[in-house]
Amino acid sequence: MSMNREKIRRTVVLDGSNIVAQGVEDGNDGNILVSAIECYEKLGYRVIPVMKKGTVGWMRYKEEPGYTIILQMFRSGQLRTFEQGDDEGVIQIATDPKINAWIITYDTFWYDKKDKNGETIPSERKSHPEWDWDDIDSRTRGTKLAGNGRPRSGHHWSVVGSEFFDPTMPQASKELLSNEYADFHRDLQIVLGKMNRITGFLERSDSELKKRMLNNASRISTNVSNLLEMIPPPEIPDEATVNTLLLDDCKDLIGLINQIDEGAKLSLRGKRDELRARINEYAEKAKEERNKSDIEERSRLKKLREEEAAAEEAGVTLGKYRKSQKRKEASEPEEPKEKTSKEESGANNELTEPPFTKSQFASALLGIKDDSQNRQPYASLYGKLIKERPEFNLKKLGIRPNIYLEECSELIDFEIRMSEDGAHEHYWI
């Protein structure tokens, strides 16, 4: 029995540029996107809204309905944007094995488009014939294949006024991974949805009081969005829970593990108890890795607090303190040391240099900022950067983004803010 990938889809990717254009009036309506997010979240799905950056700018320029909501979603990191190729972005996110999502759009990806100079842009089907279009069509809600094999739009979901409906969408399958933050995550999603609605209400006024309210509402939305980003991913259930799973649940859980961890490669073959044992063995190894990471994180936080204390004592910011320490280290003569056998054999754990300079990284990162006057979360900006320009994905190069930011301290002004419980640090630039 093969794993049903449709059955375990717990995520939807919204083609935001397409959805906001489905109102009764000409132009766009950001309220429709808010309604779509609420629709699928109520069914238990994780929702990833995607939009072309040009749509955000156009809605702001024209002050179209709901434009303040779209701006707020963009600034707080709720909205994933692309300079170009947002349709390709929607498909790539949804078909990522670790995400395996539904696609919500009326776009058939069949027709060519024109750029602003009148040049033809080939359709996604022509540009990417190597993609599995049968799979893409099977996960797209909004289009159906006609008798001649061509997709037709206008199916599954619809818009009435500014409200979005998808009456035949099934409830999300049960969550097989363990997540103590599930209720917390759901509550934050509800709060964020309410704040988006509040933003939509406050934008329809020139009142100075409501403008101040709108600014405060935007800050709250940003803080809630940052809280959502801080929630750790779900974990494998404990052994007692795994040992109660039925055969099909075991297969679905192994399928999820293989999606999340490409190196797992757990087999789906075997009887129920064999699959349970396979899951529990993997979970034990994953727990050991997490414990190791936790020890490293605690050590790093301890060093950070020592640096913060030293910076406070010296009366300078943490960034300036670190710069002074680097200058001090650079001015001291290096003590000669004997090479270890590892070094002599050429084996070491040093990270390779990325294929770009620190200056190029800094320029690209700061170019993502839409507010030059206020600090913004590094995590959100970095996430937007690698979606628009994957060549700056530091993790794929084996480099921790926070560490690299510290290495760029002479080019990027940042500050570190601790969470209220003191367990996590967040970089703001």
Please indicate, yes or no, if residue 1 is contained in any of the structural domains: no
Same domain? 38 vs 182: yes
Same domain? 191 vs 247: no
Point out the domain boundary residue: 248, 272, 293: 293
Same domain? 110 vs 253: no
Indicate the helix (H) or strand (E) that contains 164.
strand 163-165
pLDDT on residue 49: 95
Domain span at residue 274? 239-293
pLDDT on residue 125: 93
For the chain, the first-to-last Cα distance in angstroms comes to: 50
Residue 85 and residue 123 in contact, taking contact as beta carbons nearer than 8 Å: no
Across 172-217, the runs of DSSP E, i.e. the strands, are none
pLDDT digits (tens, 9 = 90+) for 383-396: 888 888 888 888 88
Per-residue tokens: 22: 């489905």
Same domain? 92 vs 219: yes
Same domain? 283 vs 395: no
Average pLDDT, the chain: 84
CATH of the domain at 387: 1.10.10
Task: Classify residue 123 by its DSSP letter.
Answer: -
At position 43, the amino acid (one-letter code) is: L
Please indicate, yes or no, if residue 328 is contained in any of the structural domains: no
Same domain? 248 vs 180: no
pLDDT on residue 351: 45
Please indicate, yes or no, if residue 343 is contained in any of the structural domains: no
Same domain? 244 vs 220: no
Same domain? 281 vs 409: no
Indicate the helix (H) or strand (E) that contains 151.
strand 151-153
323 pLDDT more than 50: yes
pLDDT digits (tens, 9 = 90+) for 205-260: 778 898 889 888 888 988 898 888 888 777 888 899 999 999 988 988 888 788 77
Same domain? 138 vs 286: no
Please indicate, yes or no, if residue 327 is contained in any of the structural domains: no
At position 300, the amino acid (one-letter code) is: R
Please indicate, yes or no, if residue 276 is contained in any of the structural domains: yes
pLDDT digits (tens, 9 = 90+) for 21-49: 998 778 999 999 999 999 999 999 989 99
Q: Which residue has the higher pLDDT, 136 or 355?
A: 136
Distances (CA, A) of 64 to 49, 70, 73: 18, 10, 15
pLDDT band at 110 (very low <50, low <70, confident <90, very high): very high
Place of tokens 């933003």: 199
Please indicate, yes or no, if residue 286 is contained in any of the structural domains: yes
Q: Which residue has the higher pLDDT, 4 or 181?
A: 181
Please indicate, yes or no, if residue 342 is contained in any of the structural domains: no
Same domain? 222 vs 145: yes
Distances (CA, A) of 258 to 176, 253, 282: 13, 9, 11
Point out the domain boundary residue: 248, 273, 293: 293
* Tally of domains in the chain: 3
Place of tokens 């979970």: 283
Cα–Cα dist 40/8, whole Å = 15
For the beta carbon of residue 261, count every other beta carbon within 10 angstroms. 13
Greatest CA separation found in the chain?
A: 77
Nearest to 322 by CA among 349, 304, 344: 304
Q: How many CA atoms lie within 13 A of 180 on its CB side?
A: 2
For the beta carbon of residue 317, count every other beta carbon within 10 angstroms. 16
Same domain? 77 vs 122: yes
Same domain? 105 vs 130: yes
Please indicate, yes or no, if residue 17 is contained in any of the structural domains: yes
Point out the domain boundary residue: 293, 315, 339: 293
pLDDT on residue 14: 97
Cα–Cα dist 215/195, whole Å = 12
CATH of the domain at 22: 3.40.50
Three-state DSSP class for residue 47: strand
Per-residue tokens: 227: 């809280």
pLDDT on residue 347: 38
pLDDT digits (tens, 9 = 90+) for 281-297: 998 888 888 788 778 87
